[in-house]
Amino acid sequence: MTRRKRKTPPWKAVRDLPNLIGPDRPSVAEDETKSLAVADAVDPDARRMAQWLVDTLDDHAHLRAARIALLFRTGAKPNADGQVRTGKAKKAALLHRLGFENADFLVTLNADAWPDYSLRQRLALLDHELTHCAVSVAGKYVERGNVPAFEASLEDDHVETHPDVEDEDGRILIRYVKRRKPGGPPLCRVRKHDVEEFVAVARRWGAAADRGRGLVDLMNPPDEGQLLMEFD
């Protein structure tokens, strides 16, 4: 019988972590944050997995100019509905007391649940929390003849041009990354979920609600359009 050759996870090849920053010390000892631990102390692969997602997925391209602190929290308690938070992303302008310098975002994962997740579940959780990390986008109406020059001036900050969206003067809308000042860091924000629904409502009505239909279409049939990977 021929043994199946094991595939090496692609993030194992990640050497540089320009966006997933690390602190100066391996743990967090302050009383108010005693339940927190830095990623490398829980799973040395976690930051590499997150960096690989940022490097690989176009949806996270804007994060290639961001600094993300990744922490694990132990002892998470269920809320009033019996749910235990698996992860959370929020803006974090300064985290000096945790050993981080000028992080744009703080992503916190459940350290107690992480060991029980499959690789695919870990990637999905990291992808989910990274998707919460977004930048603010501004819009400007530009004369059609000036669109190419304006797009070129934006360089990587250009998000999208809407040729069918006009103002009363016939100028078209161009969306771009909003920054505090020219050449400065982008304004960060936490993105909300695209879909919010109750399991009981979905069980009763299926995809009858428009807000749930897009998610159902993506997940049925399963794996259609998803990131497929095989690991032993």
- Give the pLDDT confidence of 155-178 residue by residue, as tens digits: 888 889 999 999 999 999 999 988
- Give the pLDDT confidence of 175-203 residue by residue, as tens digits: 998 887 877 778 889 998 887 777 777 77
Cis check: omega of the bond before 186, within 30 degrees of 0 = no
Q: Specify the 3-state DSSP secondary structure of 97.
A: helix
Structural domains in the chain, CATH included, are 10-135 (3.30.2010), 137-188 (no CATH), 193-232 (no CATH)
> Considering the entire predicted model, what is its pTM?
0.77
* Confidence at residue 97, expressed as pLDDT on a 0 to 100 scale: 65
The span from the CA of 20 to the CA of 11, in Å, is 13
Question: How many Å separate Cα 2 from the centre of its chain?
Answer: 40
Tokens of 218: 């993506």
* Confidence at residue 227, expressed as pLDDT on a 0 to 100 scale: 47
List the one residue out of 21, 27, 31, 158 whose CA is nearest residue 101: 21
